[in-house]
């Protein structure tokens, strides 16, 4: 990933936070940058490790608080099945997400289907259930792995 692309992404996140009146602190920005640069789902421990490589020693609660903030601001999503985080592909608006997760290369593709979202909400309501949020995770094989290309 090119550095300028990462900076563009972080500046965009910064602008969004400014607009919402919330603070993207240096630490939150760093955590977001690590998740975005990973390009794959990344766990909290791995994030902590990468921050330590930068020479500092952040405490785990600091990282968890940063993750909480980023989730709350819809800048990242949590993949429950993998216990890992991914940067959101379209953080400018709140949305329910669907993820295609390749079990071979770990690639994650974020989908956004209002139709599927509506169907799930309708089904939940027929059971008297009030959904707060939902994330659909579909595991399988991505197009590249299906073609037999190794991702390395």
d(CA 76, CA 24): 13
> CB under 5 A: which stretch of 4-12, 33-41, 106-114, 115-123 binds Zn ion?
106-114
Distance of CA 67 to the CA centre of its chain: 10
Contact (CB, 8 A) for 145 and 151: yes
Binders of Zn ion in range 28-47 (CB under 5 A): none
100 binds Zn ion (CB under 5 A): no
Q: Between residues 62 and 137, which has the closer beta carbon with respect to Zn ion? A: 137
> CB under 5 A: which stretch of 59-67, 99-107, 123-131, 132-140 binds Zn ion?
99-107
User: Binder to Zn ion among 88, 98, 99, 101 (CB under 5 A)?
Assistant: 88
Closest of 37, 121, 45, 30 to residue 82, by C-alpha: 45
């Amino acid at each position: 990933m090119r550095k300028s692309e990462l900076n563009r992404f972080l500046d965009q996140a910064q602008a969004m936070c400014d607009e919402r009146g919330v603070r993207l602190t240096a630490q939150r920005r760093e955590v977001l940058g690590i998740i975005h640069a990973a390009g794959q789902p990344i766990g909290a421990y791995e994030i902590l490790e990468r921050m330590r490589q930068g020479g500092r020693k952040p405490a785990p609660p600091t990282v968890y608080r940063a993750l909480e903030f980023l989730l709350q601001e819809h800048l990242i999503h949590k993949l429950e099945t993998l216990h890992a985080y991914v940067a959101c592909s379209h953080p400018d608006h709140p949305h329910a997400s669907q993820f295609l997760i390749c079990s071979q290369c770990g690639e994650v593709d974020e989908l956004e289907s209002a139709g599927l979202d509506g169907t799930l909400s309708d089904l939940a309501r027929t059971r008297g259930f009030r959904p707060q949020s939902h994330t659909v995770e579909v595991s399988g094989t991505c197009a590249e792995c299906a073609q037999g290309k190794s991702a390395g």
